[in-house]
């Protein structure tokens, strides 16, 4: 069983489109995250939710909107996609905000 699963794994879309990436964790964790890995492989946190409450909101354009319907899910919706949004987006989870963070397999987003 995959602990943190995200879909789709690969996504190619045109500029201006709106897309969503879904994430689910079956670890029973109360905290979930979205991280972005750019073309130089640099990883940076975007958002974090604890018990469905937004805890961390880094400097991310308003076009990015996370949604957490319950503790086990954290989806990422992106409006009006731009070329610069091309990256790998990682979902992750942990039990509380001070414990080990476990990552999903990543979603490779390419905007053309």
Partner 1 sequence: AQSVTQLDSQVPVFEEAPVELRCNYSSSVSVYLFWYVQYPNQGLQLLLKYLSGSTLVKGINGFEAEFNKSQTSFHLRKPSVHISDTAEYFCAVIENGNTGKLIFGQGTTLQVKP
Judged by the rule CB under 8 A, the positions of this chain that interact with partner 1 are 31, 33, 35, 40-45, 48, 50, 55-56, 90, 92, 94, 96-106, 108
- Write down the least CB distance from residue 7 to partner 1, Å: 13
Residue 8: asked if its preceding bond is cis (omega within 30°), the reply is yes
Comparing CB distances to partner 1, the nearer of 80 and 96 is 96
Judge whether 25 and 72 are in contact, CB under 8 Å.
yes
Burial of 100: CB neighbours in 10 Å, binned 0-12, 13-18, 19+ = exposed
Comparing CB distances to partner 1, the nearer of 79 and 106 is 106
């Amino acid at each position: 069983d995959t602990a943190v699963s995200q879909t789709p794994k690969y996504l190619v879309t045109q500029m201006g489109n709106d897309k969503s990436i879904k994430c689910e964790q079956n670890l029973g964790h109360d905290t979930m995250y979205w991280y972005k890995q750019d073309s130089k492989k640099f990883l940076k946190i975007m958002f974090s939710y604890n018990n469905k409450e937004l805890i961390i909101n880094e400097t991310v354009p308003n076009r990015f909107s996370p949604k957490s319907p319950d503790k086990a899910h954290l989806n990422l919706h992106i409006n009006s996609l731009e070329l610069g949004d091309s990256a790998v987006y990682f979902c992750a989870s942990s039990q509380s905000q001070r414990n080990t963070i476990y990552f999903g397999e990543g979603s490779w987003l390419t905007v053309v």
